[in-house]
Amino acid sequence: MLCDNFGQERLFHLSNLEIKNLEEMAVRKILKEKENAEQALQLAKEEVQAREGVLQLPQDIVNNKIDTGRGGKVAAIDRFLENVHSSTLKTGNDTCSFSQRLTVSQNDLQMLNIYESLPFDDPDGGVWKQGWPITYSENEVKRQRKLEVVVVPHSHTDPGWIKTFEEYYHQQTKNILDEMLTFLTMYKDMRFVYAEMSFFEQWWADIDDKKRDLVKKLLKDGQLEILTGGWVMPDEANSHYFGIITQLLEGHEWIRNHLGEEFAPVNHWSIDPFGLSPTVAYIVARANLSSGVVQRVHYAVKKYLAKNKQLEFKWRQFFTVDHHGDDFLTHVMPFFSYDVPHTCGPDPKVCCQFDFRRLPGSDILCPWNVPPEEITDSNCAARAFMLYDQYRKKAQLFKTNVVFVPLGDDFRYDTSFEWEKQHANYQKLFDYMNRRLDWNVHARFGTPAEYFKLVRERLFEDSSEFPVLTGDFFTYSDRNDHYWSGYYTSRPFYKQMDRTAQHFLRSAEILYSLAMARYPGESLLNELFNLLVEARRYISLFQHHDGVTGTAKNYVVVDYGQKMLMAIKNCEKVISAASNALLQQKSDEGSAHEFFNLDEVRVSHDALPVKIVADDERDIILFNSLAQDREEVVCINVKKANFIIRSARNPLTDVLQQIAPVIITQDGVPSIASDRYEVSPVLCFYAFVPSFGFEKYQLLLSNSSSNKVTLKTSVLLKTSEFFVDGLPESEIVLSNEVITAKFDPLSGFMKSVTRKGEDELHVDVSFVSYGARGKSPEKFNGGDDLSGAYLFLPDGPAKPINSNNIVIVIDGPIAKQVLVTVVEKRLSLEHSATVYFNTPHVLLRNFVNITSMSNFEVAMHLNSDIQNGEYFATDLNGFQMIKRRRFAKLPLQAQFYPMPGAAFIQDDKNRLSLLGAQANGVASLKPGSLEVMLDRRLLQDDGRGLFSGVTDNKKTMSSFILLVESMNGTDKSEAPIYFHSIFAHRFSLQLHYPIMSIFANKDERRAKTYSGLSSSLPCDFHVVTLRTMASPTVYGEQSSRSYLPSNLQALVIHRLGVDCRPKINTSFSCSLAGGQLKLLDFLRIAPKKITETSLTLLHEKLTDAALNLIIDPMEIRSFKDCRIN
């Protein structure tokens, strides 16, 4: 198999003149210190390479000087290497300089700095427990500008939590929206806001056209405001930015199709997610939203911001160096919750008396035992002053004298009683307040749109600006030392399933769009669109902040899982049909399932996928959903050990491959799988797959057995197929052309990693556990909560897990693996470390089952020589890396942060990255360490509303790439943001979007290779999605729906931010074009028209997307392609 045929012409090399000029500059500098000119020139070249990002293979690889000690196998590797080019990375002018020129203004609010300054002492603040007694001067307020009070009725409707989505809709949400329509139509002074389009769409399907017209009138008149407009209010810790964008696209597309673009949301509403990410602020800003309201911020941070009247700020991204168009005006609710007792002012006992749903006899009472009173002529003056006093005190925390007062809670306004009582009583209070000229106040019902309009007017009048804030709001704590770091890991099985479902959806979206562009109007593809929309909506639903978080009732989690399973199966059908259409001359040659089957199947929502076994000769079709060509090891299961792989395009070229047994563990005892276990050997081969494309290989029977692996083991393994030997006594060594990993023969766990030509770096892998602490009534007034779905409250430091394990080594020419079975009573833990051919990293995989444990949390621990001190990095939503610091003043549970995709530690010499395929919690608890939580089983509720523990654990897989890179130069950036190297980006994308293996019957008419692109995109560009947009839904009887594709496709592109300091030896080839992109040069099927839009296509931009574009690092840009007549 040759890699020259693809990609060689697209490598961008430094010109000879550029190299000559740079070398001369560097040589003149170095010759002052070096007498040997030849040595100086070599050093100069290395300096050029470091500065400009030019990477080359180690010289011994280029010269094919490889000693594997594998006899005839080295010849096959040599033949491959003859066709591997020296790795070349040509960077644009801004690529490497970008990360080093980020600065933070001294006047900014930087969250890491705030954390450094806070004492986290939590004194009793009086009625505002986490604040202080607020006062104001009655005389002073008369001279101030009028106090504007905007009271905003709202209802927070979770699309699944204690009940399923459907139960919530039929039992509560439908009533809320029905009553909303009735009441707002009757009372023009009343307002309402709503956010979750998943429920709104369901309700829209149930109402008639007359009511739909009334909804549009309410929107037009400003009585009803849709906030954010996403399918759900997404979690901001565990969610991947693909999932966040997907659910936002789904909601905004529905709004455009059914309400109209004139009602596109302009304000964001994120009042319940348990911590807040700047990634979400960036995404909604890209969708043309300008301001938003948030709630769950650490109580100590709220107090700090409130003291300085900085609860409203412009949330800015670290990476917006030269422009601030994505600044996002953010309002933080100052008090404990978004419910009525904690929104009118600092005293919840008083505020609760103005929640008229809680009138005596209601189903909800005030915990302070002072109920609300109906407002009458006799009590109106006194009651109005009580409420006005709270408004005045709240106003002291803000700089504009405009007060935002949410009036609602979870699933509120579901009865006409509540609508009537809230409206009537508040209107009496407003009327009285507004008549009191000495109070200098104007209060009324309103919406965030009305509130932010007033705020901006006040700022303009004062020639004032809000402060700029950078950073995130993790880890959240609502009281005491109760840090919400448990949900970063709760229900890890479904967190992993979520990423699998997103991979399937993204692949289905791309393939469907490519097929529709090639066969517009094809009836089979039109029929499949219903499956695609259903998959989008099920996966979007799980992005809800009680879905991917793992914080719902057990049976609700099952419901989410079943929906995700359906989404995966829908995507499989779309992938099969679209693949068939793209590789055949016609798209309708039989039904798709006769031609294509993916190599794995999920038979249940609560079990890991099962590999399909190839039992005869067939075509193996590989699909690459990335916009760059890929060369990787791909593995499939075959019936017998005498199968081999050949390239369909180059049948005379040897394909590097090996065959290995499957090791299974039963009752803690490993054995080689046989027919009775229905698990067959694994055939791995080194494959090339073009960007957005397919490559066909052929599975053939052979008499050859030269590609069988050998086994080394600490236990007896019975097999006649493979050679078995004992383990070495000193150390286990796995090595390839670029790295060497060493392992302890007793534990089987990694001890060190050495890159070719570099020093050995000690990296010890182990596993640890935590228990749950008991109640501590002496420590906290009123007792203490325990670890549960949300909270992580451990009983002390981690305890090591037994490392006297069963160890098996699989040694092959393209994959070498250490398999470890942890021998520990009641704990099932299997760990593997794999080194693949020509790959500079180690793949770590864990299978964990803790169903027999009680109040038990398990973590993978890495300990290394890296001197990172107190600092480390984690990612936010798979989109950006942020600097973290370990604080001695904070408890252990506060040191954990979300790791939806990556974490690393670094010093001036090395960076150790851990790239994850799923969401986990992570910490660096001492210098040189990373600790990743894998699963948790808690028997009790943690007092946050779920009323249950987490005991529905499944056998769960977690996958990580461990990557060690040499650092070339120090970090000169002042901003607390990091960037991956281009290699880490590449490997992370490969982990999230693995090559898909498709089994097909042998067919010579099928194309041997296909790419949906004319050429690969530069390697710092990632296609987030290529999505065929929907036409308006056709609603039928009994809320039935029919979906049809429109003639528009959304192309969403992300330019990655790159740190050029890490260096690595690899044959990886790519180009960086300095952010320049001309889409028509890359799209194989040119669109009739291409227009740049806002992120979710609701707003067109003036940019001519057919021309050359300049996209800054980290930018996400969207384009609307008109492809179909």
User: What are the Cα distances from residue 239, in Å, to 142, 470, 549, 819?
Assistant: 48, 20, 8, 30
The DSSP symbol for 916 reads: E
> Does residue 935 have an active-site annotation?
no
Q: What gap in Å lies between CA 179 and CA 186, rounded to an integer?
A: 11
Q: Give the DSSP H or E segment for 382.
A: helix 380-395
Beta-strand relationship, 610-611 and 312-315: unpaired
User: What are the Cα distances from residue 98, in Å, to 22, 341, 1058?
Assistant: 20, 47, 8
Closest among 44, 347, 397, 407 to 192, alpha carbons compared: 407
HEC secondary structure over 620-656: EEEEECCCCCEEEEEEEEECCCCEEEEECCCCCCCCC
Q: What gap in Å lies between CA 1115 and CA 1097, rounded to an integer?
A: 16
Residue 505 structure tokens? 């959806």
Residue 950 structure tokens? 């987490």
Closest among 3, 1, 92, 2 to 1068, alpha carbons compared: 3
Q: What gap in Å lies between CA 502 and CA 479, rounded to an integer?
A: 35
Residue 877's contacts (CB-CB under 8 Å, 6 or more residues apart) are: 236, 239, 240, 241, 244, 277, 279, 280, 900, 901
Buried-exposed string 359-384: b where 16+ CB fall within 10 A, e elsewhere: beebeeebeeeebbeebeeeebeebb
The amino acid occupying position 1042 is S
Task: Please give the full DSSP string across 265-325, using - where no structure is assigned.
Answer: --EEEE-SSSSB-HHHHHHHHHTT--EEEE----HHHHHHHHHTT-SEEEE--TT--S--T
Closest among 947, 671, 935, 942 to 785, alpha carbons compared: 942
Yes or no: say if 269 and 195 are a contact pair by the CB < 8 Å rule.
Answer: yes
What's phi and psi for 246, nearest 5 deg?
-60, -50
Per the rule left: phi > 0, alpha: psi between -120 and 50, beta: everything else, 179 is alpha
Q: Give the DSSP H or E segment for 444.
A: strand 441-445
Half-sphere CA count of 337, side-chain side, radius 13 A = 15
User: What are the Cα distances from residue 682, in Å, to 634, 702, 709?
Assistant: 10, 15, 10
Q: What gap in Å lies between CA 547 and CA 576, rounded to an integer?
A: 28
Residue 13 structure tokens? 């090399």
| SS3 (DSSP) at 904 | strand
Residue 911 structure tokens? 């960076």
Q: What gap in Å lies between CA 727 and CA 715, rounded to an integer?
A: 9
Q: What gap in Å lies between CA 581 and CA 560, rounded to an integer?
A: 31
Yes or no: say if 450 and 150 are a contact pair by the CB < 8 Å rule.
Answer: yes
Q: Give the DSSP H or E segment for 25.
A: helix 16-31
108, 158, 235, 272: the catalytic one is 272
The DSSP bridge partners found for residue 1080 are none
Q: What proportions of the chain, in percent to the nearest 5, are helix, strand and coil?
A: 30, 30, 45
Yes or no: say if 106 and 975 are a contact pair by the CB < 8 Å rule.
Answer: no
| SS3 (DSSP) at 663 | strand
**Catalytic site residues?**
272
